[in-house]
Amino acid sequence: MLNPTRVPTLLLVLHGTRSPRGTAIAHSLALRVAEVAQRPTRLAFADVTHPNVTEVAAHTPGPLVVVPAFLASGYHVRTDIPDQLLQAGRTDAVITPALGDHPALLATALRRLTQAGYQSGDALVLACAGTSDPHAQAELDQAAQRLSQRTGQPVHLAYAATSSPSVADKVAELRAAGGVSS
């Protein structure tokens, strides 16, 4: 039997939001990850809200595997999360790559689109946080391309911040072109 102090704890890191609904969804996701992985799982946020990575990592004993739940490996994944781990004194933590466009994530996106009423021919906008990092932007472009391959139609990228077009601008543009219903 494994020594329980040696079983790695998963630290699921999400961006963070001021929305209580978004935070509740993050907690539900962490519970589901713990259930599926059958490992102790903690939740932290890279930005906006608490607990942050430093706070959780500093109070989590034993091996720690950090799972950035991000679509691309931009600033938070490449700089912010490692810096917060250093602040917590967790130089031993292992950081996985960002989730990216993993097939399971794309399958989940397609399932959620269908549940939301998506029909072939509807315009699709992949709303992202935004990035100024060219490598992360290429990852977002790839995710949109892979989702487009799965749906058989274009997927348009739009951003909540940092990059453009904004989600609102892209949706307005597509509506004006007749591609988005209300």
Domains annotated for the chain, with CATH where assigned, are 4-95 (3.40.50.1400), 103-176 (no CATH)
Strands, E assignment, 30-128: 41-45, 64-68, 94-95, 124-128
Q: Angle at which helices 103-115 and 134-151 pack, to 10 degrees?
A: 60
Radius of gyration of the chain (CA): 18
Q: Is the pLDDT at 68 greater than 80, yes or no? A: yes
Mean pLDDT, range 5-24, rounded to an integer: 92
Mean pLDDT, range 100-106, rounded to an integer: 89
Q: pTM (2 decimals)? A: 0.86
pLDDT confidence tier of residue 179, bands split at 50, 70 and 90: low
- pLDDT for position 35: 97
Which residues does residue 125 pair with via DSSP β-bridges, in sequence order?
Answer: 156
Distance CA 67, CA 122 (A): 33
Strands, E assignment, 79-160: 94-95, 124-128, 155-159
- pLDDT for position 79: 95
- pLDDT for position 165: 95
Residue with token string 């399958």: 107
Distance CA 130, CA 132 (A): 7
- pLDDT for position 1: 44
